[in-house]
Structure 1
């Protein structure tokens, strides 16, 4: 056990000392699907892999890929030309679709709300990028830690989601923009002509950020969710603020690992 804890410490120190984020999307995979979820007048692109796994209870697995994060679902049922993916353990959130002309046409359904939320989607096997690159993108590099403030009621059922979406670490690669948020939530997007877009399915629902740069350290934009669409403003934290927060979180994590190391023989 002590060896395991030491390995965790070394891993944390290695990863925690870099701002680099990796994109886990395997664009050339033959099992890669690109879905579009319709929220108002927007098509929210989401990437997932549909794999055959004979050892699974229903022989299939779905893995959603969002920048540096993967969200794996094991309860995937296929009956004839129909497919159902359970997104949570209580089976209150699901994807239901029908295979039609080499596509899946279906509905995202969240029964935790009254009435239940429903978002239509289509998906097809694809090696296309998540977002179509623009001809001329902004020269501003948003790499760093960002804080977003959403203009919404404090009584909205989505308040917990907005809290988890309010802090993002962004990293610009050669061709994409990837992000990491609360509890390993991942994002992928691109720079646009005057801002950036990001999408995610990490919290078991489609989410889309559309942001416009006010300057290099501020943005304003719109957040699209299955429940509602709301405006936001975002501020890039200074290097000092980011360093202080990272150091504080790092010290807490290392202290907890150290206590675990002492506790085990």
Structure 2
């Protein structure tokens, strides 16, 4: 694809089209439903009256962008209660990737490799948390001051044992008129072995002890583990509580259904059978 062709692509893109391309670059993978929720939201989050009309509109936009090679779809699909085009998975196409690079003056090309099922599932689960925050912020329920994805949300730091990096899935800051809520977000689908989860918890604890985040922002964000089921929440709670070298007060565990109560400034989270604070 020639530079002139890529520049010509800009004449075919609306501002909303460009925002869709930027979101696909940012989140790597999104379903049609994610894109609809972000860019053609229904009431009370937006102006569209019905999800069917918004989905049809989103599908038309994506097919047009696909024809321009600005977006591309995965051959793999995901399971779920929805059917049809809403479950199609999209990524940035070759023309879209080049257009965004040239637009900001980047020269390094990003190579696309077909992802495996675990990567797809985790990437879409992280995107779903981000989309939910955007929805509720757009409905003026709170302000979304910051939402950083990988690798922008990573933290490099040094301890006595050497240099390392903290790699959360998301970093978020939400606010209402009275409070700000800062969170490192870890999305767990129940497939990670518990020793691996505990190792990552220890990285958070080592970073906390450096004081670097507190010096920059005056606080250390909550570390919020979001899990799919109450059973998994209990497994993580028991594993963390049983690790004598971990300060469990740094770590929060909640289910996907209860995640917004931790990530948004809705007041102190209320623990339930599916919502565990360690």
Asked if TM exceeds 0.5, the reply is: no
Normalising by structure 2, we get a TM-score of: 0.23
More helix as a share of residues: 2
More strand as a share of residues: 1
Bigger relative contact order, structure 1 or 2, given CA contacts below 8 A and separation 6+? Answer: 1
Normalising by structure 1, we get a TM-score of: 0.24
